[in-house]
Amino acid sequence: MNHVTIVICNYNYEPYLAAAIDSALAQDYPKTDVIVIDDGSTDGSRAIIEKYGARVSPIFKENGGQVSAYNHAIEMLETEYAIFLDSDDILYPNAVSEVMQLFVDGDWAKVQFRLDVMDGTGALTGAYVPNTETRPDCGKLLLRGWLYPSPPASGNAYRVSALKQIFPVPAAGINRYGADFYAIYGAALTGPVASVSKSLGAYRVHNAASSSVSFANSEHITKAPRAFSMRWTILRTIAKSRLQVELPPTFHDFGHEKARFCSSVYRATLLTRWRWMMRDSSGYLHAIVANPFWSLQKKLGALVLSSLCLVPYSPLSDFVVRYIANPLARRRVAGR
């Protein structure tokens, strides 16, 4: 039986850390090891980790950011498979067993699975991510610049040998965070990706309000496009130097374009909304119309919804932006 390591990267998440560790230790797959990397927390995280004794392997390091923590973990990993669990998320008890069934049956570089969305208190919201499954050959689409639908960090299990072809990643300056970007998309350049079409864990959204335009935790909606562009440039350099793979200068991703769309038209005047749609929406519309992962029905639905942002009634326009940006807004409407 293959060994699997669950790596929990933590920085100042004392209120959630124990739940993450407990979920890792509760896996029904017997050959599961747990490593907890604390990235220089200044809260009570260290005391929580130490309470688990020999049940986990603790690593306490100076604060260097998420990329630094991933670099450190991947360098020292001895098992062939690993899951990187964010310290505010949890895994369900069968998560490792489910992904290992796929790894054993195929030569996958990565196995991804859905995550239920929970709010800051741990209550499930009824939403899940991602809403679209990827294709096994998503690496070929990456060569054309298409980022494939993936769950956040905690919803991915990797073949460690694939990660070691991508990491270490530069960890200085503004690239301290976003390590999961390099793991998610870098792994797909080394081999096929499998998807589990059911939830095997839960992803905590701290601003879990259906009335908000923001959904992701990691970056403000106006900063996300710039961060993604920088990471793509770094991934291109890594792919060329280590894998001899040439990625295009630009990429296509609805999540990235959605952030641009929302930051440009949300609560904007009618003139601003029309101006953006007429002059600056080409990337956004291309990410819908040419999206290789979406059905025709989904593409048409996104186009119709987006067009409603041009109506003179601003409350409707703002509602549509929230509906497009935030899965919780969609769940609320569906539940009415």
Q: Which residues contact 52 (CB under 8 A, 6 or more apart)?
A: 21, 25, 36, 58
Dist. CA 334–CA 295, nearest whole Å:
20
Residue 81 one-letter amino acid: Y
- pTM (predicted TM-score): 0.92
Dist. CA 128–CA 131, nearest whole Å:
7
Half-sphere exposure in the Cβ direction for 311 (13 Å, CA): 14
Q: Which domains does the chain have, with CATH numbers?
A: 4-242 (3.90.550.10), 254-334 (no CATH)
Q: ∠ at Cα 181 (257, 326), nearest 5°?
A: 45
Pairing verdict, β 156-159 and 4-10? unpaired
Query: Beta-carbon neighbour count of residue 99 at 10 Å?
Result: 25
Confidence at residue 211, expressed as pLDDT on a 0 to 100 scale: 57
Confidence at residue 1, expressed as pLDDT on a 0 to 100 scale: 75
Q: Is the separation of the CB atoms in 129 and 151 below 8 Å?
A: yes
Confidence at residue 223, expressed as pLDDT on a 0 to 100 scale: 59
Chain segment 229-282, per-residue pLDDT in tens: 899 999 999 999 999 999 999 999 998 899 889 889 999 999 999 999 999 999
Residues of the chain short of pLDDT 70, as ranges, are 207-225, 330-336
Residue 197 one-letter amino acid: S
Specify whether the backbone of 168 is left (phi greater than 0), alpha (psi in -120 to 50) or beta.
beta
Q: Which of 193, 192, 320, 304 is nearest to 268 (CA)?
A: 320
Q: Is the separation of the CB atoms in 72 and 96 below 8 Å?
A: no
Q: 35 to each of 84, 181, 301, how far by Cα in Å? A: 10, 21, 43
Confidence at residue 228, expressed as pLDDT on a 0 to 100 scale: 85
